A = this chain, B = another copy of it.
Amino acid sequence: MIVYGRNPVREALRGPRTVARVWASDRAARDSWLRDAGPHLADDAALEVSDFEYADAGSLLRGEDALVLCLDQVTDPRNLGAVCRVAETAGAAGVVIGERRSAQVTPVVCRASAGAVEHLAVARVSNLADYLQGAKREEAWVYGASSAASAVPYDQPDYRGRVVLVLGSEGRGLRPRVAAACDQLIAIPMRGRVGSLNVAAAAAVLVYGILQFVRPGLTGFHKPGNLAPTDKA
User: A interface vs B, CB < 8 Å?
Assistant: 7, 11, 14, 82, 85-86, 88-91, 113-116, 119-120, 153-156, 188-198, 200-202, 204-205, 208-209, 212-214, 216, 219, 221-223, 225-226
Residues A190 and B155 in contact, CB atoms below 8 Å apart: no
Q: Tell me the bound Cα distance from A205 to B196 in angstroms.
A: 15
Q: Most chain-B Cβ atoms within 10 A of its Cβ — which of A85, A89, A205? A: A89
Interchain nearest-CB distance for A32 vs B (Å) = 18
Interchain nearest-CB distance for A102 vs B (Å) = 20
Contact residues in B for A225 (Cβ distance below 8 Å): 223
Residues B155 and A213 in contact, CB atoms below 8 Å apart: yes
Residues B155 and A192 in contact, CB atoms below 8 Å apart: no
Supposing A208-B209, A212-B209 touch, asked if A194 and B88 sit within 8 A by C-beta, the answer is yes
Interchain nearest-CB distance for A199 vs B (Å) = 11
Query: Could you write out 18 A-B pairs with CB less than 8 Å apart?
Result: A86-B197, A89-B196, A114-B196, A114-B198, A115-B194, A116-B193, A116-B194, A119-B193, A120-B192, A153-B212, A155-B212, A155-B213, A156-B222, A197-B204, A200-B200, A201-B204, A202-B204, A209-B213
